[in-house]
Every structure is written in structure tokens, then in C-alpha cells.
Amino acid sequence: MTISTAPRRVPFSRRAADLESAPISWLMAQALEVPGLLSLAAGFVDQETLPAAEMVEIAAAVLGDEKSGRDALQYGTTAGDPELRRVLLDRLASDRSPIWSQVGIEDVVLTSGSQQLLYLLAEVLLEDGDIVLVEDPSYFVFMAALESLSTRLVGVECDADGVRPEALDRCLEELHRRGDLGRVKLVYLMTYFQNPTGASLSAERGPRVLQVMRDWQERGLEALVLEDAAYRDLCFPGEAEVPPLFEGQDANETVCYAGSFSKSLAPGLRLGYGIVPTELAETLVRLKSHHDFGTGNLSQQLVLKALQTGMIDSHVEKMRRRYLGKCELLFEVLRAELGDAIELEMPRGGLYLWGRLPEGLDTGLQSRVFARALEEKVLYVPGEICCVNEASPDDPTCRSMRLCYGYPPDEELAEAGRRLARAIASVV
Amino acid sequence: MTISTAPRRVPFSRRAADLESAPISWLMAQALEVPGLLSLAAGFVDQETLPAAEMVEIAAAVLGDEKSGRDALQYGTTAGDPELRRVLLDRLASDRSPIWSQVGIEDVVLTSGSQQLLYLLAEVLLEDGDIVLVEDPSYFVFMAALESLSTRLVGVECDADGVRPEALDRCLEELHRRGDLGRVKLVYLMTYFQNPTGASLSAERGPRVLQVMRDWQERGLEALVLEDAAYRDLCFPGEAEVPPLFEGQDANETVCYAGSFSKSLAPGLRLGYGIVPTELAETLVRLKSHHDFGTGNLSQQLVLKALQTGMIDSHVEKMRRRYLGKCELLFEVLRAELGDAIELEMPRGGLYLWGRLPEGLDTGLQSRVFARALEEKVLYVPGEICCVNEASPDDPTCRSMRLCYGYPPDEELAEAGRRLARAIASVV
């Protein structure tokens, strides 16, 4: 807008002043400003297989029936549709763990994507200066949200099998030594095909992580684990299914489980959920009633119908094969063009391939690699954005990059890979 | 869930501890616990006319096209679809006011219902102890949200023509005298068919309210006006259209306008919006990106299509007639049964009829009237819930009730009216 006189100052709260523009916004602006740019940065899902035709039928089934159609268009409850919560629990429950007999729909909160679950949870658990342990590197969007809430992030060492239990233990020991154990309120772990590295917590490590938590809870640790399983459904065909941390707890009181239909069905529905201790669910619902009264009822009914008809299962099967194919395509293009000049580890699912360049090369926003990539019209997420706190230059994350093969069609993906390879080859 | 050992304590933040269970939750629990209860309490929209059949066509048009269907199912931008924001502005713009030439889509933020806009705005403007001026009585859900953010609410006197400009002036004078003028950050006004009283700000008063704001801004007031126009579309047929406060401002920097598609189309889509100063829109989008990345893209595309096809216009026309009919029905049942034992003022639109009982009668949750109503199996919202701060017993709001004629079909509405009349008649 244009105004003729000096504009009045908006009386922002200090909270608002802490809302810095995220580096990812800068990345996205780049994507819009550079015509023809191919993006391996955006974490979007495969555009070609979004189930538009199938959703026409689902929508007709929900809206075409007078009763269910009107109900879907009316207000719902803040916690979300009870039937959808029941169906969701039945779907997740497994004979592997007795925990499921302890969980009821009162422990399930439906949210606007799993992002909203993460945010609500942070708001009800964390105060200024409280500490959140996160994998290092971790999911930059949630880290930015946590920082805007004035919490302190502490990174825990990870490798290809996820967070290292002994590193978690050492980290808590160090915080205990500093007198900060009581300030640790949350341990945030992406257990499946982590954002950004694609690594998953192994079946062998899960119980050891929980044992570390138990040991420290006996020594006064109050923290809950937040298990972010947003990508769990995208397990590549043939990979063994690993039980979630959630199933390893003794009672429904240590691990909060966050899931999403954005990857298994469609992000445009904005539906995620949390399974949390009952007392916490009640508080989350109270806060959510202030935020928005509840997530869109129509989206919920569409997802419920997609679950009931089995449409979502066949879609998920398709997506597992599809993302495996896309991941292999990008992997092979980079391997063929760059050989050992890039270190790549094939993930077992999800949307991200994590690439690491040789020592001495930086991938950051100010780096030569990044500048060359922009010249070649290809975008990636620099590792430095995913670092916990300020990264030291010799941190291997600073020579790494998150490559998302989710969105582009195969030809564009291959072309993006070749462009990236040219950019890297020119500086190696 | 049931657990065998003592549950671990959830380490709630102080913020969470302030999230009291709202009285309305208690009301809703009553509605579930008393079988056969008819509710005049819930602010739901007319169930019978929810446009399910029309939405089948809209959904087929959006999802049936390969490109638009896939786009609707993909992630969108946090601020919301640019085309929808443009169409929305074109729809709202009026020749009456030059302000519209100063407003662009960068000033529009799409949100999960207008409730989310209200909440985001509160979070970016208000700090502990800041002051919000509200009509007395006002919308209890937002007041509860504001109180959970540790703000102070100050009520301003209203009558059938909305907030009284001289009362607003007096209120600011008093705050100035107390040295609190600098803590006033927001003036929250429902200008159309207010929740709970149904009163609207008159065309004559709008400019006077803005003049009071201007005068005090010159004396140091920083506050913005938040104009909540959620019910604006539900103007009864034949009533004169009153321009919004938003159109009376000199530049897009004093009044934030909140609107919604919940009443004009369907609450199950959860789509609302704000039009705010550019700088504020940018900050709201940053905060919203932490909350949920953006409101569901599918809902946005359905609303866009409903606007483009004119479907929403014909639906709104129908709803205006429908709610007038329902309001008259409830009005006449109560008038016929109770005569002067209830004071009723016909609103000019919206969903609420505000009833006032004779002096000495209390309508509160602990009152005989409320107990008798429950015995008769009918529910209303007691005026006391809508009072700003603790109500004094001689406040006329404490002998008033909000009666929502939105949801029930005619026969149920008439029966609810008769039950309520019996309950009141038995104590008058």
C-alpha cells in the first residue's frame, strides 16, 4: 500500500520482535526471483501423484450424503472428530506393545498439520529459558518456533541410526552438572527419515534412548519426549518396519507422538495429530480452542473417508514406490556426475537425501557452492540452516545440504541433479 | 486411559496453568450429559441449509481439474492463496471509501477461521498487563483467550447502536489519568450483530468512534482498533448496509478488519481473514508460519471457487432470509408466552437474540432460571459469561441471556422457545 503521511507505528509486543524472518523465507524468495530455478529446497510432496481424481470421489461420498455432508460443513469439536480419532488409533495400534490398551481417543488431538501440534505442545510446556534437546542437525522450522518462544536449544549427536543414546546421556549429565537439568522440558526426536538428514532411529537404539530417559527421570528429569513421526508412512518398499519410541514406554506418559496426513495423503488438507498423556491432551485442547476452535471439519471427514475406504492405503503404497524411485534417480545422477566428490547415504524412506561435500567446502548461504548453484538455477537447503545454534565452521553439517526429491517430476529432478553437480564440480 | 502406577507430572508452563477451562466448555458438557436437551447456547449455523449439495459441485470443479486439483492438495503459502486474497479484496472494496486504493493483497492474511486472526493479532500486539478495551458485554471466547495472555480487559459501555463514543472517550480519559494510556494496545469492537447482544454500530457512530481514536492517538494512544465483522454477511433483508469502521480510517493503519467464511458459507471450511497494516501482516505471517505454515489450501480453493461461481452470493441471500425467519420465530414464541416478562430487541442480522429479564432475576450458571431451564431441557448462554471481568450483581447483563437461533430447525427452535418461556415464567 502507499500512504501519503508517515505511517503510525504498530505497537508490537516483544514476542513479535523476536519473530525473525526465517532463512527459509529468504530461500523461498530466491525461488520466486530467479526465473527457471529448480528447487530441491522446498519440502513439498510429489505434485504428479497428488490424488485429485480420488479425492473427487471421496468428497462426493462425504458431501453427497445429506447428513454427513452437512455435518462436515458445520463446526466440529476442538479435539477433533471422535470417530476419526478412534479409526486413527485402531490403525496405529499394534500387537507389539501393550501401550495401546492404555490409550484412548481422549489422548488424541487433531491439529492443523503436525506443525500445529508441535507448536501447541511447545506453548504449554516451555517457558523463557527452558531447554529443549534436539538432534543436531534438526528441523529448522520447529527450531525457529522454539527460539521465538525464548527457549534454549541443545543439540545431541546423531548418526545414520539416529540419535546416539550415550550422547543423550552425556548431554543430560552435562546439564545436570551445570544445574540445568530441571530446565529440560522436551526432547524432540524425528525418529523416521529425519528432516534434514533422512536418518532413522534404529530398532536397536529406541529402547536404549528410553532407558536413558528413565534413568534421568529417576534423577529428577521432568522432560517429555516428542516423537515426530511425520514421515513414517513413507517407508521405502522392502525396508523393515521399526516400532515407534511411543510403543516402548511403560505408560502413556513419557513419549508424545506426532503424526500427519500431509505426506500419506495431501498437505492441502492440513491435518495432523498428537497422541499424548490425557492431562496434556486436555490442556492442548484448551489452548487450541483459543487458537482456532478446532481444525477444519471437512478436512477431517475427507481423511476419515479416505481411511475407511482404504484409499489412503493404496495411495501410501504408491507413494513409497514413487519416492524410492525419485530418491534413487537423484542419488544416481549425483553419483554419476560427482563420484566421490559428494558423500550420500541412501535413506530408507521419506523425502530427503543428505549430501556432504569434502572437507574445506562450505554449503552455506554465503558460500561459493551456494552462489554457483544459484547461477546454475538450482536451490538446496544449506546444512547451516539446520544446525542447532551457531554452527562452527568445522562442523560437517556446514558442508552438507538437504536435497528434497519430493516435488519435481522425474525430468526436472534429473535436471536439478545435473545442475547441482555442475555447481559442485566447478568448486571442488 | 488407565495406568497402574502414579502418573508422572506433566511439566506444564505457567502459561498452560492460566488456560482455565472456559465456562462454555461446562455448558457444552451439559448439552452432552442431558439427553434431549435443546440448545440455544451453541453458536452453530443453520444445519438444514448447509450447502452440501452445492459443495459437491464446487469440490468436483476444484478437484476434477488435474492442475487445480493437485494445487489444492499441495502446500500453499502461509499468507494464503494470492488469487483468493485478490478476489476477496475486490469483493469487499467499495466506492464509498478511498481506503481501498491503499490496500493490497500484502495486507490480507488468510487464517483458520477469524478466531485465529484474533489470536495471532493478540500474540503479536499484547504483553503481560497490556490493556484491551472491549464492548461490555463482549465475545467470551476471545475474552478468555486475552485473559490467558495475561492482558487486562476494560469494558466500554454499549447500547443498541453499539459502543458509545463518549464512553470510549471517558474510558481513555480515565486510563490516561491513571497513567495507563500507554498500556492500551487494542480496542476490540464487533461492529455487526454483536456477540452476544446482536447490536450493531450505527452509521452515525462509526465516524465518531474513529474521531475519539484520532484525538487520543494525538495524545499518545498507540492502540489499534480490531473490527470483528464475522457476522456482517448475515444482514437481514431490507436492512440498510452500514459501512465498516475500516472504511472510515484515513490510511490503512488504525483499523484491523477481521472477516470469516464460517457464516457466509460453512464453518467446516475454517476460513477467515484479516486486513491489516502491511507491517503487521508480515509479522502475523511469520507467527502463523510457526503455528501451522498456513491454512488448508483445499478450503481456500473451495471458497475461491464458491466466490467465482457466485455460489456464495446466492447462499448468503438465502441465509439472510433464513435467519430473519428464525429470529422472528423465536422472538414471537417468547413474546407470546412471556409478554413483558422478557425484554427483547430484534437485531438487524446475525445469529443472536439478547433477552433481558426483569430486575431481581439472575440468569447465571448458579441461578434458579438456569436450573429451571436445565429441568425443562433447554440451554442458553448466561449474560454473566459475557461480562467483562467480574460482573456486579446489579449489572443488567447478569439478568440477560444470549439466545442463538442459528442451528435448530424451526420446530425445535419453537419448542426450545416454549421450554425457555416455561422456565422463566415459573420464576418471574
10 Å CB burial of residue B176 (0-12, 13-18, 19+) is middle
| C-alpha span between B323 and A253 (Å, rounded) | 47
| C-alpha span between B410 and B21 (Å, rounded) | 32
C-alpha neighbours within 13 Å on the C-beta side of residue B37: 21
| C-alpha span between A316 and A312 (Å, rounded) | 6
| C-alpha span between B258 and B111 (Å, rounded) | 10
Quote the pLDDT of residue B1: 44
User: Do A73 and B56 make contact, defined as CB atoms within 8 angstroms?
Assistant: no
Quote the pLDDT of residue A392: 82
- Asked if residue A128 has pLDDT above 70, the reply is yes
Kindly state whether A107 is in contact with chain B, defined as any CB-CB distance less than 8 angstroms. Answer: yes
Q: How far is B394 from chain A (nearest CA, A)?
A: 30
Quote the pLDDT of residue B141: 92
Instruction: Please provide the average confidence, as pLDDT, over all residues in chain A.
Output: 94
Q: How far is B237 from chain A (nearest CA, A)?
A: 24
| B10 contacts on A by Cβ (under 8 Å) | 125, 224, 253, 277, 279-280, 283
Kindly state whether B52 is in contact with chain A, defined as any CB-CB distance less than 8 angstroms. Answer: yes
Neighbour count for residue A419 (Cβ, 10 Å): 22
| Helix ranges, B309-355 (H) | 311-338
Bridge partner residues of B184 (DSSP):
B131
Work out the pLDDT band at A391, boundaries 50, 70, 90: confident
User: Do A286 and B8 make contact, defined as CB atoms within 8 angstroms?
Assistant: no
% of chain A with per-residue pLDDT over 90: 88
Q: How far is B243 from chain A (nearest CA, A)?
A: 21
Q: Which of A208, A206, A241 is nearest to A227 (CA)?
A: A206
| C-alpha span between A310 and A313 (Å, rounded) | 5
* Host H or E run for residue B56: helix B52-64
Give Cα A14 to chain centroid, integer Å. Answer: 28
Q: How far is A427 from chain B (nearest CA, A)?
A: 34
User: Tell me: the pLDDT tens digits for B151-168?
Assistant: 999 999 999 999 999 999
Work out the pLDDT band at B3, boundaries 50, 70, 90: very low
| C-alpha span between B221 and B213 (Å, rounded) | 8
> Residue range B354-358: average pLDDT?
97
Neighbour count for residue A359 (Cβ, 10 Å): 8
Q: Give Rg (Cα) of chain A.
A: 22
> Residue range A378-403: average pLDDT?
92
> Higher-confidence residue: A27 or B197?
B197
Instruction: Please provide the average confidence, as pLDDT, over all residues in chain B.
Output: 94
Quote the pLDDT of residue B63: 98
| A64 contacts on B by Cβ (under 8 Å) | 52-53, 56
3-state secondary structure chain A: CCCCCCCCCCCCCHHHHCCCCCHHHHHHHHHHHCCCCEECCCCCCCCCCCCHHHHHHHHHHHHHCHHHHHHHHCCCCCCCCHHHHHHHHHHHCCCCCHHHHHCCHHHEEEECHHHHHHHHHHHHHCCCCCEEEEEECCCHHHHHHHHHCCCEEEEEEEECCEECHHHHHHHHHHHHHCCCHHHEEEEEEECCCCCCCCCCCCCCHHHHHHHHHHHHHHCCCCCEEEEECCCHHHECCCCCCCCCHHHHCCCCCCEEEEEECCCCCCHHHCCEEEECCHHHHHHHHHHHHHHCCCCCHHHHHHHHHHHHCCHHHHHHHHHHHHHHHHHHHHHHHHHHHHHHHCEECCCCECCEEEEECCCCCCCCCCCHHHHHHHHCCEECEEHHHHCCCCCCCCCHHHHEEEEECCCCCHHHHHHHHHHHHHHHHCCC
Q: How far is B376 from chain A (nearest CA, A)?
A: 25
10 Å CB burial of residue B68 (0-12, 13-18, 19+) is middle
| C-alpha span between A369 and A279 (Å, rounded) | 49
- Asked if residue A310 has pLDDT above 80, the reply is yes
Work out the pLDDT band at B31, boundaries 50, 70, 90: confident
Q: How far is B71 from chain A (nearest CA, A)?
A: 8
| A306 contacts on B by Cβ (under 8 Å) | none
Bridge partner residues of B235 (DSSP):
B349
Q: Residues with Cβ < 8 Å from B318, sequence gap 6 or more?
A: B49
User: Tell me: the pLDDT tens digits for A232-277?
Assistant: 999 999 999 999 999 999 888 899 999 999 999 999 999 999 999 9
Quote the pLDDT of residue B6: 63
C-alpha neighbours within 13 Å on the C-beta side of residue A326: 30
Quote the pLDDT of residue A1: 44
Q: Which three cell numbers stand for residue B162?
A: 453499539
User: Tell me: the pLDDT tens digits for A322-351?
Assistant: 999 999 999 999 999 999 999 999 999 999
User: Tell me: the pLDDT tens digits for B109-138?
Assistant: 999 999 999 999 999 999 999 999 999 999
Quote the pLDDT of residue B219: 95
Q: Which of B414, B407, B320, B408 is nearest to B45 (CA)?
A: B407
Q: Residues with Cβ < 8 Å from B228, sequence gap 6 or more?
A: B114, B118, B139, B142, B188, B189, B190, B191, B258
Locate cell 465498516: which residue? B244
Structural contact between residues A417 and A334, judged by C-beta atoms closer than 8 angstroms:
yes
Q: Which of B197, B187, B267 is nearest to B228 (CA)?
A: B187
Bridge partner residues of A162 (DSSP):
A159
Task: Indicate which of A3, A9, A13 best probes the interface with B, i.e. most B CBs within 10 Å of its own CB.
Answer: A13
| A290 contacts on B by Cβ (under 8 Å) | 19, 119, 141, 144-145, 148
Quote the pLDDT of residue B273: 98
How far, in Å, are A152, A222, A241, A256, B273 from residue A131 at the CA level? 5, 11, 32, 17, 34
| B24-47 burial: b if 16+ Cβ within 10 Å, else e | bbebbebeeeeeebbbbbbbbbbb
Kindly state whether A374 is in contact with chain B, defined as any CB-CB distance less than 8 angstroms. Answer: no
% helix, strand, coil for chain B, step of 5: 50, 15, 35
| A102 contacts on B by Cβ (under 8 Å) | 1-3
- Asked if residue A403 has pLDDT above 80, the reply is yes
* Host H or E run for residue B145: helix B140-148
Structural contact between residues A212 and A206, judged by C-beta atoms closer than 8 angstroms:
no
Q: Which of B348, B387, B344, B337 is nearest to B365 (CA)?
A: B387
Least confident segment among A32-36, A278-282, A414-418, B186-190: A32-36
Q: Which three cell numbers stand for residue B21?
A: 477451562
Structural contact between residues A230 and A262, judged by C-beta atoms closer than 8 angstroms:
yes
> Residue range B56-81: average pLDDT?
96
User: Do B299 and A298 make contact, defined as CB atoms within 8 angstroms?
Assistant: yes
| B281 contacts on A by Cβ (under 8 Å) | none
Kindly state whether B288 is in contact with chain A, defined as any CB-CB distance less than 8 angstroms. Answer: no
- Asked if residue B65 has pLDDT above 80, the reply is yes
- Asked if residue A5 has pLDDT above 70, the reply is no
Work out the pLDDT band at B4, boundaries 50, 70, 90: very low
3-state DSSP assignment of residue B129: coil
Query: B179 in the Ramachandran plot: left (φ > 0), alpha (ψ -120 to 50) or beta?
Result: left
Per this entry, what is the length of chain B?
428
Q: How far is B228 from chain A (nearest CA, A)?
A: 15
| A287 contacts on B by Cβ (under 8 Å) | 16, 19, 148
- Asked if residue A397 has pLDDT above 80, the reply is yes
| B344-359 burial: b if 16+ Cβ within 10 Å, else e | beebbbbbbbbbbbee
| C-alpha span between A30 and A373 (Å, rounded) | 12
User: Do B11 and A222 make contact, defined as CB atoms within 8 angstroms?
Assistant: yes
Bridge partner residues of B257 (DSSP):
B227, B275
Per this entry, what is the length of chain A?
428
| C-alpha span between A27 and B165 (Å, rounded) | 48
Give the residue on B whose Cα is nearest the Cα of A183. B11
Quote the pLDDT of residue A246: 98
Q: Which of residues 344-363 of A touch B (CB under 8 A)?
A: none
Structural contact between residues A258 and A118, judged by C-beta atoms closer than 8 angstroms:
yes
Integer distance in angstroms from the first to the last C-alpha of chain B? 46
- Give me the residue from B60, B103, B290 closest to A144, CB to CB: B290
Q: Which of residues 135-164 of B touch A (CB under 8 A)?
A: 141, 144-145, 148
> Residue range B236-245: average pLDDT?
96
ipTM: 0.95
Structural contact between residues B11 and A224, judged by C-beta atoms closer than 8 angstroms:
yes
User: Tell me: the pLDDT tens digits for A61-79?
Assistant: 999 999 999 999 999 999 9
User: Tell me: the pLDDT tens digits for B203-235?
Assistant: 999 999 999 999 999 999 999 999 999 999 999
How far, in Å, are A289, A387, B191, B276 from residue B187 at the CA level? 22, 42, 12, 14
% of chain A with per-residue pLDDT over 70: 97
Locate cell 486436555: which residue? A282
How far, in Å, are A30, A383, B284, B404, B416 from residue B407 at the CA level? 48, 53, 32, 8, 12
DSSP string, B194-205: -TTT-----TTH
Query: pTM, whole model, 2 decimals?
Result: 0.96
Q: Which of residues 54-73 of A touch B (CB under 8 A)?
A: 55-56, 59-60, 63-66, 69-73
| C-alpha span between B142 and B270 (Å, rounded) | 17
| B5 contacts on A by Cβ (under 8 Å) | 251
- Asked if residue A408 has pLDDT above 50, the reply is yes
